Amino acid sequence: MNGYGSAAPNGNGDAGITIPAGVTNQPRVLVRSLNRDEVVFHLSGVDMAYANSLRRTMMADVPTICIDQVAFMQNTCPIPDEMLAHRLGLIPLISRGAGKGLRYTRDCDCDEGCYYCMVTLRLKVSAANLARGNFMAITSDMLEIIPSPNTPQQNPYGPPPEIGDEERDITANRDPDLGQPVGKGDPTATPVQIARLGVGQEIEVICKAYKGISKHHAKWQPVSAIGFEYDPYNKLRHTDYWFETDAEAEWPLSSNHVFETAPESTEPFDYNAVPGTYYYDVESVGSIPVTSVFEQACDIMIDNLAQIIQSVQEETGADAEEDEADMVEPHINGGDGYEYGGYGGGDQWGGGGGGGGGWGTGMSPLRR
Ligand SMILES: [Zn+2]
């Protein structure tokens, strides 16, 4: 494969891995490596806008929880309150299931945060008994969860609290570790250092952690970085390298070049070529497993695209049932490929769903 839309499907890279690529009406994913915190994968069969949307959705739209408000009872350490609050906000907290296990506080009826929209943490540390000349490291492991207002079953002897169906759903989907600092209780993980206390200094704070997305503040980002690349040989000439004397020597190829075919020096430039394979390297901060970040991002993209389609249909008065009848599901031929019905030609697929094929080619986000 060479990353071009006009390439034959199922080409072989020099690395000996068969990668699905080329003209297709279904996105395809090849996972190269996966662990709890990092996934390296290839995405092919989509256009660039789609691939970049997936990257941006993983970074900016997947909800996590973070400390957003801090009440200071006591702070006699050298770090001022504002800086300490900022550092607390950046500590990653376990956010598995935050999508369904917690409300956005703006959607909640409570006044100042409750069990259904907030996790409350306390940091109470004192270096009163420290030997002179020593320092005490204050880390994220010392944050402890305390009950938020309206926590169900606060009184084990009383009747169960009266809660609605929505609240019952939230309670059922709640991860027991939701809001715990990432790595707490794991001897192999290094905790985040917040401050250092000298003799007699102390900190006592109550922190309110809310659900949010990183479109509002980067602290809610579930990933630390996403490596994103296409066309490692720059055959499409989307990049113009700046160089001193020799561009090839000064810009070494990325590791992804082994999955594509090197261009011939005599090869004429193909003006119709479009990128076909995108290389991702997603690193989680630990608040959500990286596979869940990917899955949630796909679901969020489906919802967002469905809203756009619905808005367009409402605006234009298009009949949704008519569109439904025009849809063509992709046919799988015994596992050896897809039929590419609905496409005008090899070079046309890069136009995406908005091109000649439209949603009729089976790419509708409304139909998974
Ligand atoms: Zn609430």
90-104 residue pLDDT tens? 999 999 989 889 999
Ligand 1 centroid, distance to 209 Cα (angstroms):
12
What is the structure's pLDDT at 167?
Answer: 84
Distance CA(98)–CA(287), nearest Å, equals 10
Ligand 1 centroid, distance to 221 Cα (angstroms):
22
Ligand 1 centroid, distance to 105 Cα (angstroms):
6
Alpha-carbon torsion angle 101, 107, 113, 119, nearest 10: 20
What is the structure's pLDDT at 304?
Answer: 93
Ligand 1 centroid, distance to 256 Cα (angstroms):
47
Ranges of the chain whose pLDDT falls below 50: 1-14, 20-21, 23, 330-368
Q: At what angle do helices 290-316 and 48-60 cross, to 10 degrees?
A: 120
Ligand 1 centroid, distance to 51 Cα (angstroms):
36
What is the structure's pLDDT at 328?
Answer: 52
Ligand 1 centroid, distance to 296 Cα (angstroms):
23
What is the structure's pLDDT at 3?
Answer: 39
What is the structure's pLDDT at 337?
Answer: 36
What is the structure's pLDDT at 129?
Answer: 86
229-283 residue pLDDT tens? 999 999 999 989 999 999 889 999 999 999 998 888 888 888 888 898 999 999 9
| CA distances, 360 to each of 2, 46, 325, 332 (Å) | 28, 16, 9, 16
Ligand 1 centroid, distance to 95 Cα (angstroms):
17
